[in-house]
Amino acid sequence: MNRLTQFIGLLFVIGLLLIITSFRAYSKLNESCSKKLRTHLRWCMSIGSVLITISIMYMTCVKNQGCKCDFDIDAGWKIYLTLFILVVMGIILVSLASGISSEIKSGQCKDNLGSLPSILMSIGITLIVLPVIYIGILIYTKVQIEK
C-alpha cells in the first residue's frame, strides 16, 4: 500500500467522522436553534461527503483495470491541486467550526452539542495539516529520486 492510498484512506475516515459528527449534532437541534447553525452543520456534512467521494473515486480508479490512473510522483499538478483544494476545505471547516462555536455561545440554542465545535475544529486543522505534510513528503521523495 503506497502513501497516496494511505492518505486517501485517512481522508475517507475524516469524511466519515465529519458526516457522523455533524449529522448527530444536526439531529439534536430543536426549533430554538438558529438557521445559521443549521446551515453551518449542513456545510460540514457536505465537506464530509466530498471527502468520502474523493476517496471512493480514487479507490474505484485504482481497482478498475480499465482505468488509466496516473497518480504517481510525476502526476504533479493533479496531486498538488487536490492537496490545495483539501487545504481550502480545511480552512472553510475551521471557519465553520468557529461560527458554530459562536452560535452556541450566543445562547439562542438550548441544545447541548457537547464538544462539537472542538471536534470540528480538530478535524479542520487535521484537514489542513495532512495535505501540508503530504506535500513535504512529495517534495522530499522527489529530491531523493533526483539525487
DSSP secondary structure letters along 1-35: --HHHHHHHHHHHHHHHHHHHHHHHHHH--TTS-H
Q: Which parts of the chain register pLDDT below 50?
A: none
pLDDT at 77: 72
Cell numbers at residue 14, please? 475524516
pLDDT at 18: 92
pLDDT at 1: 56
**Spacing of C-alpha 133 from chain mean position:** 15
pLDDT at 109: 73
pLDDT at 138: 78
Q: Which of 2, 3, 1, 50 is nearest to 22 (CA)?
A: 50
Question: CA angle at residue 15 from 14 to 17, to 5 degrees?
Answer: 65
* Cβ–Cβ < 8 Å for 19, 49: yes
